[in-house]
Structure 1
Amino acid sequence: MRWKCLLLLLLVPALLHAQATATLTGRVLDPAGAPIEAASVLVENALAGFQKEANTDAGGRFTIANLPFQTYVLTVRKPGFAMERQKVSLRTNVPVPVEVRLALEQQVTQVEVRGTDPAALIEPEATGTRTELSATSFSRMPLPAGNRGLESVLLSFPGFAANANGAIHPRGAHNQMTYVIDGMPVSDQLTGSFANAVDPSIVQNIELFTGNIPAEYGNKISGVAVITTRSGSGTGRGFSGSTQIGAAQFGTLSQVSQFAGGTDRFGYFASFSAVKSNRFLDQVSLDNLHNGGNSERGFARFDYQASPRHQFRMNLLAGRSSFELANLRSQHAAGQDQRQLLRDFSASLGWLHTLNARATFDSTVSYRTSIAQLFPSAGDTPVTAAQARHLSTLVIANRVSLLAGPHTLRAGLDVQHFPISENFSFGITKEGFNHPASETFIPTLLRHDLSRGGSLFHFSERAAGNMYSGFVQDNIRWKRFAFSLGFRYDAYRFLVDGNQLQPRVGVAFHVPETGTVFRASYNRTYQTPPNENLLLSSSDQAAALVPAGVRDALGGAYARIRPERQNVYEIGLQQAVGRKVSVNGSFYHKNSRDLQDNDNFFNTGIIFPTSLLQSRVNGAEARVA
């Protein structure tokens, strides 16, 4: 299958990276219709803390690209002319043209009122819980040093709870997050000791969906973080760069070096970061024993506009973490010296083709591979373990976007291929851990008790799965209403087979007189099992370890983990308070079949997926911005 994946990458150069950002173009004119050169054009979103600026050319034209899908306030200034401000909604990668006419300064009386327009404090088009943050906002956050990445930023959002080593729970789910990095979906567990996290310094903007998830997104969607990375395109500088060095307690040293540049048609951005700490993971004892580590991450993005109708982009992302596993006092006294090594690499290529003034076509090819290794030591207690796990994901997708009156249409087809290999071994080393005289004695583990002459448990297997998806989404504006109508279909083919049609619908009602937005939504979701150690958890070798009492109670040793089917209901309210405050609240109910969860193997980074028959979750959350 490896040669087939390579053949796809070689033969399908036109199937490139989906563009998950908008482009704003326009002209600035004087009262007589003549172009205004060197006018300042600013787009900003007060809630996200996002700003981007450009200047008009000799023809009065401007272009601002790489804008996350949001509603913005457009402000145009030029000495001698009155300032002009208007709202612009950017919800598709179809370029949006605007024409701005500036009145002469002496023809108007201007009164400056400090604060934000109340209309900019609410989102009338949002039919579910959606939160945005820009790099300017989260760069001011007191993020912890060490191996933490973007998950530290996500924990500032409502509905997220932290677990050990950076693992996060969106609305009660266990790590069911999808990160969409410039259109590339990543559903690996990018947290703590499980995988290399995304470096926050490469992020320009985050848009987080936790309610009424658009039909475009599938797989693991209790939370979807749409990440727009930084770009050097349009900066007008051939080169600029910076280096930051930091230090903190526990011997923590960090470094971030970035450089960028570009012209009107080409841009590049690169970032290299490293961190070393003597408290790399969450400590498991007050003494913070055996807990050192280091991590290195690199990112590069290249943008090229071949013509007004063709845009290309390439992203490269790599990471490496090497660290000790934190010890308990008893483990430290025995000389335990377990270590873990995580490596990953991702590449994506992108092409956006503007079909006409109201339609675009974009395609995706992205590839990601990650390797996790656990190395045992001679002093391991109460068990020794080793692991070498390899997961790769190839995604090919196609998208069509269309503007038609009040409709913003988007449809697409996705194919995902994910080969997996797993190698795992363990053995009991402490004589009293599973003693035959103990009430908690498990007979099936006796053969792997090294302290009683047993042998190591060994598992090695590889397999590959596929997922086929299609969706259609229509966002409609009608008077004071905004409707989101979406349908998605997933066909999952791996250790089990499954299919699901998923309606995703929502409505919002705007009361401009009071600065209020009411919203409600219903989602049917289909969340696939986590791939980390899925083969081992579903194997006959693992089933042989199940105690007889558990086997009798369940009617078998194990059941294959199936995709989770979930119904999600949400109602919400957003309210502008004065000119500076926005309050956003929601209540949600979720009922699930085959709920996904996982268990840790002692205090290692090894996790095993589990499943619960059914669950119900009720929650309420609020955010003040």
Structure 2
Amino acid sequence: MQVRSQVNQYANSFVTDDGGNLAVPGLSYGPYSVTVEGKGFAAASKTIEIRSALPVDSSIKLEVAAVDATIEVNDKQTLIDPNRPSSIMQIGSKEIDKRVASLPGRSIQDLVNTQPGWLYEGNAVLHPRGSEYQTQFVVDGVPLTDNRSPSFGPEIEADDIDSVSIYTAGFPAEYGRKMGGVVELNTKHYDDSALHGQVIAAGGSYDTAQGYTRVQNTWNKNTLGASASGSMTSHYLNPVVPQNYTNAGTTGDFAVKYDRDFTAKDRLTMSVRHELARYEIPNELVQQNGGPIQPGDVYPGGQLQTGDNFETMGTVNYQHIFSPDVLGTLSGFVRNNQNDLYSNQNSYPIIFDLNNYFNEGYFKGTLSWHYKNQEWKAGVESDNTFLHEKWNYVITDPNQYDDGTPLVFGFAQHRPDLEQSAFVEDLIRLGKWTVSAGLRWDHYQLVVNQNNFSPRVSVGRYFPSLKLVGHFSYDRIFQTPSFENILAASSPLINAIDPAVLRLPVKPSTGTYYEGGFTEAFSDKLKLDVNFFRRDERNFADDDEIESTTVSYPIAFDKAILYGAETKISLVNTGKLSGYVSYSYIVGNAWFPVTGGLFVGDDVTNALTQLTGHFPDSQDQRNTLRSRFQYQALPRLWLSSGVSYGSGLPFDFDGDPSQVLAEYGQTVLNRLNFSRGRILPTLAISASMGIDLYKTDRIQTRFQVDGDNLNNRLNVIDFGGLFSGNAIGPGRSFIARLNTSF
């Protein structure tokens, strides 16, 4: 049996049991073309639509084949979804398997970053449509709302993922708290009783080596799967200078998942995952080599700062089908996340050590039911996170700090972050119209105690003669602030570190998102997505850093307005050639005054006196272009090439070009436009080649070679000056992968 959906970029083959039955879980909403073949029977095809969490039962009858019969099957009915009321970007299993290989710690982030509207800041921090730290990942229905970039939390490897669905508007009321963008990840699951597995080995530039293995077996009503991965590299984070000093990193991941179908109506799923990352913090020139910058300064060189993060998480999900029209689920997880930073004695101008961790317990209950032309869903959730922050420093050069700053200081505090929510939503189909309407209530209690109602509406209209779906969405949002170091940013204990300190409570962001656009199919081979959006936010979330360290904490500005347009052209069903090209345009501005966060020294005066005016959002990159096309040169050989272009982010630097030349060198200075206050455009050309070395019905072995930034441009992603936020992209690099699945 083959199940395909062009709109969801999904294609998979399955084998039924002896009774001809098959269950395929974890499919995204949309239309699917199902083709069934059996020896001695004529093939049969059918289109099935999935519109809710309720299972869809469908039967396909095979007829005895004629002596001479021909059948032609295509996916033209699934190129667009006529009942989708909002825009959703999809990444399917084929694109995941044949993606350009990533450096360790960022394979999922690199996949998401290929989509229009998403941008990287340093160290693979994703920013959807200009939002800062407001991305949540939903893994098999479990929401993770903390920062999942390589320097904060270990990632789930893309090799573990079967499909990705990405929202930047038209959010279901089910999702809240982090609303810049929602990334749904569905992990791999084989649906027949055979033993399945996968083994991947990779290696290449920057001393990179990676390994991944997965195995799954099904017997009776039980399914047990396990996966493990590990990697090492000398380019883990984005370095702050082209020399890539002190940037080694290693990662590890181990996961076990168990499913049991107690009855045809009851399923239990349990999983445990443990992830870790250990890495070095990249040095700047003076931290690595020492030497004076200003008269009287003496930088000793030889700094070594190391970081690590560990995460252990256990999840459980129980599903019961009350009737063909009613489904109930109970799910929850517990996890521990730890983040550490250590500095050697040569660290300059500050020796900083940090030991932060949190314990989290999450519960969610939902009820889905179908009634005539409506799909209802309602639920409640509770998320209790117990934050623990502990850090200390020793200043090695008092001349770099304000008079009165203590040379030695320590901070330790803990507090619970308590959040609850409830929601109800309905998907209504009215002929060629589709309406999604929902209402969400959130309660947040940490530094402040607030609650909020968020209505959301999306409307879609299908025009069959044009093969076009138009849509419009309205989302009210309530976004909780990032909790990384939020206790330090709001504690009166911080008053001791400087004679001038200003602390303002960081409140949740509120606002309104608007989006309008359309999806159109041309000749069943080309799909065009166009979206226009605007975001109005109050208490706009941003972040700042503890001086001369890599430790960030949340701040907020009075408001922000972000608007722009996105388009993506996807080429499918053309035989040998497939691919896409996407373009994004965004303008983002934030307005003074500051309304939340910690401000020390001279920043206090600026915060109290800068009460009007606006400035470009840190992700105000006006033009972004990405493309990738694949050509099937031979039945077992394919070639692909892609381009990534960005017109450059804004930067704010107190010094002048001569200071940049002295501290960072000519190559970095050449990439900065001081008259415009912007980094010069980035450009990276990639290419891949893949060959199926061995292929049968049960076993497939593929060898793939990827080259990235083949033009070898020095791409400066961020620039902020000494000890503050520089990020240099990788140079020309190559990675080879050997992938065997069975």
Are the aligned partners of 1:145 and 1:248 in contact in 2 as well (CA < 8 Å)? no
Deviation per residue, 1:429-481 (Å, 9 max, x gap): 235423xxxxxxx34xx332xxxxxx312111000021110000100111001
Displacement of 1:103 after TM fit? 5.0
Letter paired with 2:46 = Q
Letter paired with 2:377 = R
Displacement of 1:291 after TM fit? 1.1
Within the candidate set 375, 400, 413, 1:461 is matched to: 413
Mapped pair 1:500 → 2:452: yes
Mapped pair 1:182 → 2:140: yes
Partner of 2:125: 167
Within the candidate set 193, 207, 225, 1:236 is matched to: 193
Within the candidate set 72, 81, 92, 2:52 is matched to: 92
Are the aligned partners of 1:170 and 1:177 in contact in 2 as well (CA < 8 Å)? yes
1:5-84 alignment to 2 at 5 Å?
41-57=1-17, 59-84=19-44
Are the aligned partners of 1:215 and 1:471 in contact in 2 as well (CA < 8 Å)? yes
- How many residue pairs match? The answer is 559
Structure 1: which 5+ residue stretches go unaligned? 1-40, 435-441, 449-454, 552-556
Partner of 2:237: 281
Are the aligned partners of 1:362 and 1:398 in contact in 2 as well (CA < 8 Å)? yes
Within the candidate set 383, 387, 397, 2:354 is matched to: 387
Are the aligned partners of 1:149 and 1:191 in contact in 2 as well (CA < 8 Å)? no
Letter paired with 2:60 = V
Within the candidate set 254, 260, 267, 2:223 is matched to: 267
1:288-327 alignment to 2 at 5 Å?
288-327=244-283
1:193-592 alignment to 2 at 5 Å?
193-232=151-190, 234-237=191-194, 239-263=195-219, 265-333=221-289, 334-434=301-401, 442-443=402-403, 446-448=404-406, 455-543=407-495, 545=497, 548=500, 557-592=502-537
Partner of 1:13: none
Deviation per residue, 1:186-238 (Å, 9 max, x gap): 11111121211121111111111111110001110211111111124x3322x
Displacement of 1:544 after TM fit? 5.0
Classify 1:92/1:427 alpha carbon distance in 2 versus 1 (closer, same or farther; 3 Å). Answer: same
Are the aligned partners of 1:564 and 1:593 in contact in 2 as well (CA < 8 Å)? yes
Displacement of 1:498 after TM fit? 0.6
Output the CA distance in 2 between the equivalents of 1:87 and 1:507: 24
Output the CA distance in 2 between the equivalents of 1:88 and 1:207: 19
Displacement of 1:62 after TM fit? 3.3
Letter paired with 1:209 = Y
With 413-422 and 284-293 compared, the bigger mean Cα shift is at 284-293
Partner of 1:21: none
4+ residue segments displaced more than 6 Å? none
Structure 2: which 5+ residue stretches go unaligned? 290-300, 571-742
Classify 1:84/1:600 alpha carbon distance in 2 versus 1 (closer, same or farther; 3 Å). Answer: farther
Output the CA distance in 2 between the equivalents of 1:369 and 1:254: 25
1:68 is paired with a residue whose SS is coil
Output the CA distance in 2 between the equivalents of 1:431 and 1:178: 40
Within the candidate set 150, 173, 177, 1:192 is matched to: 150
Partner of 1:606: 551
Output the CA distance in 2 between the equivalents of 1:604 and 1:583: 45
Are the aligned partners of 1:190 and 1:198 in contact in 2 as well (CA < 8 Å)? no
Displacement of 1:57 after TM fit? 4.8
Are the aligned partners of 2:340 and 2:356 in contact in 1 as well (CA < 8 Å)? yes
Deviation per residue, 1:509-550 (Å, 9 max, x gap): 0012221000001000101011110100111133455675xx
1:150 is paired with a residue whose SS is helix
Output the CA distance in 2 between the equivalents of 1:600 and 1:480: 51
Deviation per residue, 1:472-522 (Å, 9 max, x gap): 010011100111011000111221011111111110000122210000010
Letter paired with 2:393 = F
Are the aligned partners of 2:511 and 2:536 in contact in 1 as well (CA < 8 Å)? yes
Are the aligned partners of 2:409 and 2:497 in contact in 1 as well (CA < 8 Å)? no
1:112-131 alignment to 2 at 5 Å?
112=72, 116-117=75-76, 119-131=77-89
Output the CA distance in 2 between the equivalents of 1:356 and 1:381: 66
Output the CA distance in 1 between the equivalents of 2:438 and 2:68: 46
Cα RMSD between the aligned structures? 2.0
Classify 1:111/1:64 alpha carbon distance in 2 versus 1 (closer, same or farther; 3 Å). Answer: closer
Are the aligned partners of 2:317 and 2:332 in contact in 1 as well (CA < 8 Å)? yes
Output the CA distance in 2 between the equivalents of 1:243 and 1:260: 12
Deviation per residue, 1:257-306 (Å, 9 max, x gap): 22111135211221111111111211111211111121111222111111
1:138 is paired with a residue whose SS is helix
Output the CA distance in 2 between the equivalents of 1:55 and 1:275: 34
Deviation per residue, 1:346-373 (Å, 9 max, x gap): 1101110110111111111211221001
1:48 is paired with a residue whose SS is coil
Displacement of 1:125 after TM fit? 2.4
- Report the TM-score when normalising by structure 2: 0.72
Letter paired with 1:537 = A
Letter paired with 2:23 = T
Deviation per residue, 1:129-159 (Å, 9 max, x gap): 2111123212211132232231111101111
Letter paired with 2:211 = Q
Classify 1:57/1:196 alpha carbon distance in 2 versus 1 (closer, same or farther; 3 Å). Answer: closer
Output the CA distance in 1 between the equivalents of 2:234 and 2:19: 57
Letter paired with 1:368 = R
Output the CA distance in 1 between the equivalents of 2:211 and 2:351: 35
Are the aligned partners of 1:194 and 1:605 in contact in 2 as well (CA < 8 Å)? no
Are the aligned partners of 2:349 and 2:548 in contact in 1 as well (CA < 8 Å)? no
Are the aligned partners of 1:231 and 1:268 in contact in 2 as well (CA < 8 Å)? no
Are the aligned partners of 2:436 and 2:459 in contact in 1 as well (CA < 8 Å)? yes
2:78 is paired with a residue whose SS is helix
Letter paired with 1:186 = L
1:98 is paired with a residue whose SS is coil
Deviation per residue, 1:548-597 (Å, 9 max, x gap): 5xx7xxxxx22100011010011011011222221111011110111111
1:220 is paired with a residue whose SS is coil
Are the aligned partners of 1:273 and 1:297 in contact in 2 as well (CA < 8 Å)? yes
Output the CA distance in 2 between the equivalents of 1:62 and 1:447: 68
Displacement of 1:241 after TM fit? 3.2
Output the CA distance in 1 between the equivalents of 2:133 and 2:482: 9
